[in-house]
Amino acid sequence: MEPGDYSLTENLVAQYYPYIVRLARSILHDANEAEDIAQETFITALVRIEDCDSDANFKAWLSTIAVNKCRDLLRKQKTRQKFASAWQTVRLLGQSPTPEAIAEQSDTQTELWTAVNNLNDKHRFPILLRYVHNLSIREIAQVLEVKEGTIHSRLHNACKKLAEQIDFNLDTLSMVKEASS
């Protein structure tokens, strides 16, 4: 690697590290894991910097690496999460929610985040990338490595699923953006 590449790497880290941490945190919901993913993302980027075109959209390129690393981590955690979920369901059988829990769940923002988090990854990732991280349809398509039409379809279907889960309209998505700021 030539000295100029170090400058590029430093610039990429300075410009995009906070964004990559936020992206990973929105997917993983764990600040420590998000930091680890961000570090792994930039290590991978450093190793692959020669493969990247100088005209590339670095934000989309780094986002792709980060999302793929998040997916890998989520796959590894899937078995553990299934077991924990099954155990909690068994433990909570027969218990009714407390009035405090009911009141908390009635908050629109809490309902929205719960509904978003209940979406499968193929619908949750486009919602997060579009409404929380303000990526364009083209950038989301690059990050998720699918066609732009697929992103439009997934966003549409995700909104329909959210509408089924809560009293929801498209203006409510602006709350997601405000909550993430």
Identify the sign of the CA torsion 85, 124, 41, 76.
Answer: positive
The verdict on 101 and 175 lying in the same domain is yes
Look up the CATH number of the domain holding residue 67: 1.10.1740.10
Question: Model confidence over 127-158: pLDDT tens digits?
Answer: 888 888 888 899 999 989 999 999 999 988 98
Look up the CATH number of the domain holding residue 133: 1.10.10.10
Question: What residue spans of the chain are helical by DSSP H?
Answer: 3-28, 31-48, 58-92, 99-105, 108-118, 121-127, 137-144, 148-165, 173-180
The verdict on 153 and 73 lying in the same domain is no
Give the total number of structural domains in the chain: 2
Question: 3-class SS at 93?
Answer: coil
The verdict on 103 and 181 lying in the same domain is yes
* Domain around 68: 1-80
> What's the angle, vertex CA 17, arms to CA 15 and CA 23, rounded to 5?
120
Which pTM was predicted? 0.55
Question: Model confidence over 103-117: pLDDT tens digits?
Answer: 554 566 667 777 888
Q: Is residue 86 part of a domain?
A: no
Question: Model confidence over 79-102: pLDDT tens digits?
Answer: 565 555 554 554 554 455 556 655
Q: Is residue 72 part of a domain?
A: yes
The verdict on 104 and 173 lying in the same domain is yes
